[in-house]
Amino acid sequence: MNSVSKTSEWVVRIAELEIHAEHLAAYRALLAEEIAASVANEPGVLTLQAVALKDAPEQVRILEIYQDQQAYERHLKTPHFLAYKSESAAMVKSLRLVPVDPIRMASKLLD
Amino acid sequence: MNSVSKTSEWVVRIAELEIHAEHLAAYRALLAEEIAASVANEPGVLTLQAVALKDAPEQVRILEIYQDQQAYERHLKTPHFLAYKSESAAMVKSLRLVPVDPIRMASKLLD
């Protein structure tokens, strides 16, 4: 891993969301915008990777990595996150946050 | 995304594994080694990010991104993957491969 990160302090989790089918296109656009803004503007937001299940596209999974707990708490107060949260509220049928521990995270992608 | 990738051809999925508890430490070591070798040595293996659920560490999730189907098929024939597959066979209780579509993948981490 590169030098921005100290794995031991990371906050890592998988968000599991179900989106109301009629709002799926709008939700995906909102989420994509929120992810781009967060990773571009917040030094402590290391990774936000969102996917939809091919066989159930209303099922969204997001792998989230924050530098540490403080970075996560700052993220929750940013204008882009607050706008996403409020605009997506009625689109989200359920949200489950699953805390995880990294085993090995290797990538050659950068946004 | 950087220039190594054309999202439209990517093969992206989440592998969901359950590991026999008595083999968990050995399995994690094998997996970490396999991930490091694959991303370092295979140009078409873009991302392998493995985590364990904090509340159920025998539950492992891996986000996998391959450049395209050919890259994935080459990966299956590499010595490091074949060694991992054979050495981990008795450790893995169940394996489910869930095909997914990227919504937005943003990261500032590189291995």
Q: B57 — alpha (psi -120 to 50), left (phi > 0) or beta?
A: alpha
The alpha-carbon gap from B95 to the nearest alpha carbon of chain A, in Å, equals: 16
Q: Are B109 and A111 in contact (CB < 8 Å)?
A: no
Q: Are A46 and B104 in contact (CB < 8 Å)?
A: no
pLDDT in tens, B1-22: 444 456 779 999 999 999 999 9
Mean pLDDT of chain A: 92
Q: Are A107 and B108 in contact (CB < 8 Å)?
A: no
Residue of chain A minimizing CA distance to B53: A100
**A9 phi and psi angles, rounded to 5 deg:** -100, -5
Q: What percent of chain B has pLDDT over 70?
A: 92
Strands (E) across chain A are located at 11-19, 45-53, 56-66, 92-107
Residue A8: per-residue pLDDT: 77
Rounded to an integer, what distance in angstroms lies between the CA atom of residue B47 and that of residue A73?
27
Residue A109: per-residue pLDDT: 76
Do the Cβ atoms of B59 and B52 come closer than 8 Å?
Answer: yes
- Contacts with B35 from chain A: Cβ below 8 Å: 103-104, 106
Question: What single-letter amino acid sits at B98?
Answer: V
Where chain A has pLDDT below 50, the residues are: 1-4
Given a cut of 80, is residue B61 above it in pLDDT?
yes
Residue A6: per-residue pLDDT: 60
pLDDT in tens, B18-54: 999 999 999 999 999 999 999 999 999 999 999 999 9
Q: What's A36's DSSP letter?
A: H
Do the Cβ atoms of A93 and A19 come closer than 8 Å?
Answer: yes
Question: What single-letter amino acid sits at A91?
Answer: M
pLDDT in tens, A33-55: 999 999 999 999 999 999 999 99
Residue B3: per-residue pLDDT: 43
pTM for the model: 0.92
CA distances from A73 to A42, A81, A82, B75 (A): 11, 11, 12, 39
In this complex, the residue of A31, A105, A110 whose CB is nearest that of residue B49 is A105
Q: What angle do CA A48, A53, A55 make, to 5 degrees?
A: 170
Q: What percent of chain A has pLDDT over 90?
A: 86
In the block, residue with structure tokens 């909102």 = A30
Residue B108: per-residue pLDDT: 84
In this complex, the residue of A51, A99, A101 whose CB is nearest that of residue B101 is A51
What is the torsion angle, in degrees rounded to the nearest 10, for the CA atoms of residue A111, residue B77, residue B86 and residue A13?
10
Given a cut of 80, is residue B85 above it in pLDDT?
yes
Q: Which 3 state secondary structure label does DSSP give B15? A: strand
Query: Residue A2 burial by CB count (10 A; 0-12/13-18/19+): exposed, middle or buried?
Result: exposed
- Contacts with A105 from chain B: Cβ below 8 Å: 49-51, 109, 111
Residue B95: per-residue pLDDT: 98
